[in-house]
Amino acid sequence: MMFLIFRAMYQQHNTEQVREILASYRIGRLKGYRADQSVPSDPYKSDPHQERLPALTVLTPKPFNAETPNELLVASAKTPNDLFYVRNHLPVPEVDLQKYVLQIQGEGVKEVRLTLDELKSKFRQHKVAATLQCAGNRRSELMKVKPIKGLEWRVGGIGNAEWTGVLLRDVLQFAGLTREEAIQYGIKHIQFEGLDRDVTGTSYGASIPIEKALAEGGDVLLAFEMNGQPLSRDHGFPVRVIVPGVVAARHVKWLSKIVPSRAESDSHWQQRDYKSFSPNVDWDNVDWSSAPAMQDMPVTSAICEPNADATLTSDSEDVSLKGYAWSGGGRKIIRVDVSADGGKSWTTADLIPSTQSDGRAWAWTHWAASVPLPRDLLKPGQVIELVCKATDSAYNSQPDSLSPVWNLRGVTNNAWHRIKIPVRDDKSTSSTKPAV
């Protein structure tokens, strides 16, 4: 009834009377709110949307996170820049090179400010082939054991590139930080800060141990090129840290500041994320301070061909497999074993030759194998379980199952990689699915 009265009054242009009546029902005002207040702008509107290829498998559009399709992971030793997986935590910053400055400040150093041109001209440039792997790579498998908060990365949260830049240790020494100075001032960590910020203005940050930063064979780069091209915006233009053998979360993009310190970075991503816990730890009992921040990654491998959409025919004799293997800390892959019966019998895969020496084997190893199929399982309706596992130069090998490595963040999954391929009865007609 009240609505009908208001409508009649409004139609008779008695708007002031309507306002007066409605004002009597007001219970308060929102502080600072204006009726003409504009809607907040999209913080991701300046992301490089047009540069992103549709071939990438998108996990989230804002922030943008996407992985490389399986078959492209083994197409070449270097992952093409525009097909390299993308892990963004925050909006991609727009960087004006005319204003860009990299700052080095903190304990034991003189404050230094370097433009990109100065970084390129003052220090000797180096090239390092290194694999980057997201901490959550293969998280989707762990999610089948028990729910996990996080992106459902499959096997494509990894890529390999040749990075060009200057050594972090050279830049630190230029700022006055030698190994002796680090000992004198008790410096234990090198902190990094990016130009990407959240709505509060907080930047992404991370840190690495001083031993890695200053090691002659540590090969930590302040990189400005990726596979011979300037870094794209999604990959950290104009400068990002490359920390070979270490989880990609420490390879800070859009680098703005380097800080030698006695303490680790106090960033959320160093203190309350990218840590792994026992399977019995969950969100109701986790103590973030009880686990160290992830650095070196464990040995892992994955099958990229065939993929889970493939099928086998009942007259198949063998199956061709391709994949990658990698271990953190510069440990070289010395063997990959593959199986076509769930791990009951094994075939040793052929490794693609690598020129890197053990201790500095920063890049992944591709492998391939032709595996005989078990005749007793080649029946229509049956499923063939393909498995791979890698061993590194320290004789670390992958665990056989997922449950023991489950953790609340779904990181460091390095269990045997398994895919199941169905068998169909189609001896005379070739499959429309990927050939195996």
Hey, where are the domains in the chain?
51-290, 300-424
Task: Say if residue 30's pLDDT is above 60.
Answer: no
Poorest-pLDDT segment among 21-25, 75-79, 396-400: 21-25
Angle between helices 15-23 and 2-11 (to 10 degrees): 150
18: which 2 tokens? 């309507």
Q: Is the pTM of this model over 0.85?
A: yes
pLDDT confidence bin for 37, thresholds 50/70/90: low
pLDDT tens column, 327-345: 999 999 999 999 999 999 9
d(CA 162, CA 126): 10
Give the per-residue pLDDT at 432.
34
pLDDT confidence bin for 275, thresholds 50/70/90: very high
Share of the chain above pLDDT 90, in %: 83
pLDDT confidence bin for 15, thresholds 50/70/90: very low
Give the per-residue pLDDT at 402.
98
Q: Which fold has domain 300-424?
A: Immunoglobulin-like (2.60.40)
pLDDT tens column, 44-72: 999 999 999 999 999 999 999 999 999 99
Give the per-residue pLDDT at 359.
79
d(CA 206, CA 366): 30
Query: In CATH, what class is 51-290?
Result: alpha beta
d(CA 273, CA 264): 14
DSSP state of 331: P
Phi, psi of 95 (to 5 degrees): -110, 125
CB 66 within 8 A of CB 85: yes
Give the per-residue pLDDT at 35.
46
Task: Say if residue 105's pLDDT is above 80.
Answer: yes
Give the per-residue pLDDT at 308.
83
pLDDT tens column, 127-171: 999 999 999 999 999 999 999 999 999 999 999 999 999 999 999
Give the per-residue pLDDT at 433.
45
CB 334 within 8 A of CB 98: no
pLDDT (mean) for 345-364: 87
- Mean pLDDT of the chain, nearest integer: 91
398 vs 431 pLDDT, higher one = 398
pLDDT tens column, 229-264: 999 999 999 999 999 999 999 999 999 999 999 999
> What's the angle, vertex CA 64, arms to CA 62 and CA 68, rounded to 5?
150
Give the per-residue pLDDT at 436.
53
pLDDT tens column, 68-95: 999 999 999 999 999 999 999 999 999 9
pLDDT tens column, 167-191: 999 999 999 999 999 999 999 999 9
pLDDT (mean) for 317-321: 96
Task: Give the burial class of 30: count Cβ atoms within 10 A of its Cβ; 0-12 exposed, 13-18 middle, 19 or more buried.
Answer: exposed
pLDDT (mean) for 363-371: 97
Residue 167 to residues 18, 184, 209, 239, 420: CA-CA distances in angstroms?
Answer: 72, 22, 15, 12, 44
